Structure 1
Amino acid sequence: MPAPAQALPAPDIPPVPAVPDLSALRTALAEFHCAELEVAVGKDQRIAISGLTAGDTDPDSLALLAQDYGTGQRAAVEVERASPALCEPLTLISALRTTNTGLAAPLSIRLKGEAGATALDGGQDLVFDVTAPDFPAHLQVDYFTSDGDVIHLLPNPLEISGRVEANAVRRLGERGAGGRFWSIGPPYGHELIVVIASPTPLFPSPRPEAEAAASYLPALKQALEAAAPTTVASARFLKTKAP
């Protein structure tokens, strides 16, 4: 009579590590007004922080911050630096950006074809969509360069009105659409698009199409102080490089 089969012990299966909750860390990183930072968890369960900063954000400080909010491990930090000149406009609109993130349908910026692009080459057209917030608004769209200038993309001499309906999408820079279009040129590096949506125009008449940011920012500060409390803003870094 054959002996009864012996039950084989179950193999040891390592437990699946818990994915850390990053919500508190994301909230803390949002306080860095001059930075655009992303956080994720790698396959090794190590927290990784990446992005761009125009301020004096120290990578070691970010690593320690992640350690406080995360698993106790120091995070892997890979942050590029932009011109410190881009920090001032971001600081100026920081409260408006916070208000915007709380909207059910926030103001947003999306570069055309950005899904596979890491940078815009010299000579390439700058084309992007602005999605309006959930109220009819007037858009002020500014492009801050790495060398301290600002180009007012909207309103502009061919498109004197920045008026949009609630949740409407307005494309800027499309050739053949009858409006202004722009091509990427020097100086190359990290630059900044700022969009402000307000119930009424920020300025009684359009600004010069291009001017020094140092001249514009005090006027913008004054306009924002007088703007309606529903005014919101969004910002987007972009990287440009020589062709």
Structure 2
Amino acid sequence: MSSNILDEFNRLYPAVAGVLAGVALAVLLSSPAAAQGLEPEDEVEYATFRSVPKFRAYLPAEVDLSPKFPKPGNQGDQGSCTAWATGYALRTYYEYKNYPPESIPLHNAISPAFLYNQVKSRNSNCLVGTRISSTLKFLQNTGAVTMADFPYSREECSRQPPQTVLSKAGDFRINDWQRINFKKLDDVKGQLAAGHPVVFGMYVSDPFLEHRSDAVYNRVSDRNHGFAHAMVLVGYSDKRRALKLMNSWGSDWGNNGFAWVAYDAFVASTNSAFTMRAPSKELPKPKVVAVVTQEPVAPVPQPAPEPKPVIKKTPKPQPAPEPKPVVKVAPKPQPAPEPKPVVKVAPKPQPQPKPVAKVVAKVTPKPPPKPVRLSKADVKQKVRAVLNQFRCAGFSFTQPARTSIALNGYLASEKDLLSLKQGLEKIPSLKTERLNVAVRTWPQCEAMQTFAEPLLTPRGLTVKALSAKGGRVLTEGEKLIVEVTTPDFPSYVYVTYLQAGGDAVHLIRPDASGKPYPPNKTLTFGNDPTKISFEIASPFGKEMIIAVATSKPLEKSALEIVEEERSYLSSFRQAILQQIGENRKGPAAATYGLLTTRPKAR
């Protein structure tokens, strides 16, 4: 083990450096290796595993969960990629996903050695691979332990944990796991958007070993032209048309241990994909300490001193006079001697019980906050912070004065609208001069996100959805007439009807001639039953018609007449992003029209 590897390890693992010193766990941060170790799933058994439901909900244009993961490690020369992907990466993610980014204590990451050493065949060498499903079963039934309790060593893989370590494994059991139909990218992206990374097996070849950049990897490999390797998907980007993955070949591989793989290459090269559910550790709440002061306590009164007894003194008797000559006179009767005074001693007063001093705890009230005077930039920042809380939404606002805004936009529900108003009310001194925010339920809100840029510049493109009577409320059985005015450039026009039930019906597509429509031309569809007609039927409700015009045909031009909204939104988003992306192929415009449908009176 080189000294620079040890230094790096000691820096990242200060709490366990002493325990793990001399152990080959420093391979975590070493140069990349070429070990793999995935045993592909049995196709028949794989089909029997429970699978996640088909995803039909909102998808953002990009997701990145990588900040919640530990630093990418290196499996070294062992075939332990499955344990690294499911344990070190994925189970550690769930344990600490509630913590702030980059605050994961790496010494508490899940040990891949604990999983690999027990899941692989006993007495086999360290190159043998394991299945993802086998490791997930082990995690559900037995659990896992941390690197501190069972360090990773690339020198050997037969070491088994003692009972003292095994007894801790239950703390890291997972609750459930399921397979994913990896050929349906929306199902994969739906898990990522919900905060659930995907562990997957993929065939890769030598160019993948040498990948050293942030560029999108787009090579396709299979069983005959590559080797199986397990990794974790941590995000996606429709703009890049790629999925982001975390590998176990060290931080020198890819872009700091992460890489992008093209959507098409992923679907063509992958052989299995799974997601798990596991408990997460809650972030400790800060302790609130009340500041308590005591009022001055009056001194305890002392009992009065006992009074001294008062003694009345008897007067001293006078001496008897000398006798005079005796004259016999009848003796004068002597007065009876005065009785001795009785000295009464006052009883000793009983001391009064000592009063108990009451100690009253007084919580010093927090003084009212001083009025905050926000700058114009502060107000803008706080408004943006409120708006960024909403996912299927879009906003624009102006700031006529320092503390006033005029807000336009849309969001997905009445509940979101209420939350928006409450959030704005909490900004000190903010005045909302105009709040023009509409509720556009999904999939309408995502459609408006998908076409956000071309919607900003419709360039004369318009669309109207009308009944034969000219109104925008259509009853069951009525004929729908669509009127489109093309933009100010020759264009290919796509008109799609987003029904209340969720399906996307493609009303108008480029015709077989392959020629664009001329600029500023008004086209009417549905008024000539000999050509094409549209009749209102269930489901009913608030609906939307979207018109998209592009200077070049979109990639997805061979559309099914009816497809699910999720498939429509994903395919059009990728096609539009490619049209207006870095390799801009020409202008694009979009607009929409709203209508309401209702059942016929019975």
Please give the range of the TM-score, normalised by the shorter of the 2 chains: 0.5 to 0.7
Q: Identity of aligned pairs, percent?
A: 24
Work out which of the residue numbers 471, 476, 481 in structure 2 matches 1:117: 471
Residue equivalent to 1:21: none
Asked whether the 8 Å contact 1:89–1:217 carries over to 2, the reply is yes
Asked whether the 8 Å contact 1:193–1:236 carries over to 2, the reply is yes
Residue equivalent to 1:154: 508
The 5-angstrom pairing of residues 65-214 of structure 1 reads 68-70=431-433, 81-100=439-458, 103=459, 106-112=460-466, 117-155=471-509, 159-160=511-512, 163-176=516-529, 178-203=530-555, 205-214=557-566
Residue equivalent to 1:8: none
Unaligned runs of 5+ in 2: 1-389, 396-406, 580-584
Letter in 1 for 2:455: R
Q: Please, what TM-score do these two structures have when normalized by structure 1?
A: 0.64
Residues 169, 237 of structure 1: alpha-carbon distance in 2 compared, 3 angstrom cutoff: same
Letter in 2 for 1:83: T
Distance 2:472 2:531 in 1: 26
Residues 147, 34 of structure 1: alpha-carbon distance in 2 compared, 3 angstrom cutoff: farther
Residue equivalent to 1:217: 569
Asked whether the 8 Å contact 2:552–2:586 carries over to 1, the reply is no
Partner of 1:192, secondary structure, is strand
Distance 2:536 2:410 in 1: 20
RCO comparison, higher one (Cα < 8 Å, 6+): 1
Asked whether the 8 Å contact 1:154–1:162 carries over to 2, the reply is no
Distance 1:237 1:119 in 2: 9
Asked whether the 8 Å contact 2:502–2:564 carries over to 1, the reply is yes
Please state which structure has a larger fraction of its residues in helix.
2
Aligned length: 189
Residues 110, 154 of structure 1: alpha-carbon distance in 2 compared, 3 angstrom cutoff: same
Distance 2:515 2:539 in 1: 27
Residues 219, 204 of structure 1: alpha-carbon distance in 2 compared, 3 angstrom cutoff: closer
Distance 1:114 1:62 in 2: 39
Asked whether the 8 Å contact 1:141–1:196 carries over to 2, the reply is yes
Residues 89, 51 of structure 1: alpha-carbon distance in 2 compared, 3 angstrom cutoff: closer
Q: Please, what TM-score do these two structures have when normalized by structure 2?
A: 0.28
Distance 2:421 2:509 in 1: 38
Distance 2:478 2:410 in 1: 22
Distance 1:114 1:237 in 2: 16
Asked whether the 8 Å contact 1:132–1:165 carries over to 2, the reply is yes
Asked whether the 8 Å contact 1:119–1:239 carries over to 2, the reply is yes
Distance 1:206 1:138 in 2: 13
Letter in 2 for 1:220: F
Asked whether the 8 Å contact 1:96–1:232 carries over to 2, the reply is yes
Larger radius of gyration: 2
CA positional deviation for 1:222:
1.7
Please state which structure has a larger fraction of its residues in strand.
1
Asked whether the 8 Å contact 1:34–1:86 carries over to 2, the reply is no
Distance 2:478 2:394 in 1: 25
Asked whether the 8 Å contact 2:468–2:481 carries over to 1, the reply is no
Unaligned runs of 5+ in 1: 1-31, 37-48
Residue equivalent to 2:599: 242
> After superposition, what is the alpha-carbon deviation per residue over 1:40-78, rounded to whole angstroms, capped at 9, x for unaligned?
xxxxxxxxx99986456415746969x83538xxx7x89
Distance 1:196 1:211 in 2: 17
Asked whether the 8 Å contact 1:199–1:230 carries over to 2, the reply is yes
